[in-house]
Amino acid sequence: MTAHHVGHSTSNSSSAPFVELHEAFTSRLAGISSFVDQLMRFIQIFMGEVGIAKEIEEELEIAIHEALANAVIHGNHEDPKKQVHVACRCSMDGELLISVQDEGEGFDSRKVPDPTEVQRLVLPHGRGIHLMRAFMDEVSFEENGTVVRMRKRMKAQGGS
């Protein structure tokens, strides 16, 4: 189920033209990488006018991958009967908004342990939210933690 929408924002945050993608995929770990690749192609096409530095592209890809992995693993518990819903809005003023929603019970993001604490540094997991917050300008959890919203403002690349 894919929906593309092109229009003008009606919110107070921006009045720039935008393009939006809505997609859902089955909660399987094996599907994450190909979905991230598809979403990154969408972002590259529509944010091309703004220009995205390679470093920013890599950070976006990591943040998106972590959000999807959290939805599949922690939210939907890899239940193939459940879906992960993604919305991605690329505004021509350089703003990128991504929301990821799972069909799980939710969680309290304030209770997630800090992965930079000494006793947690050697653990092979637990860094997803930390990475999302490090690479995006804003990260918020809504609807009892079943929705993560991420925002990134692209800075225009040098040139003309």
| Counted domains in the chain | 1
pTM across the whole model: 0.84
**pLDDT at position 12 over 50:** no
Q: Is residue 159 part of a domain?
A: no
Q: Find the angle CA(59)-CA(50)-CA(140) to the nearest 5 degrees.
A: 45
Q: How far is 16 from 6, CA to CA, in rounded Å?
A: 11
In a domain, 137, yes or no: yes
pLDDT digits (tens, 9 = 90+) for 75-92: 999 999 999 999 999 998
Does 45 fall in a domain?
yes
Provide the domain limits for residue 133. 2-153
Q: What are phi and psi of 92, to 5 degrees?
A: -70, -10
**Segment 25-30 mean pLDDT:** 92
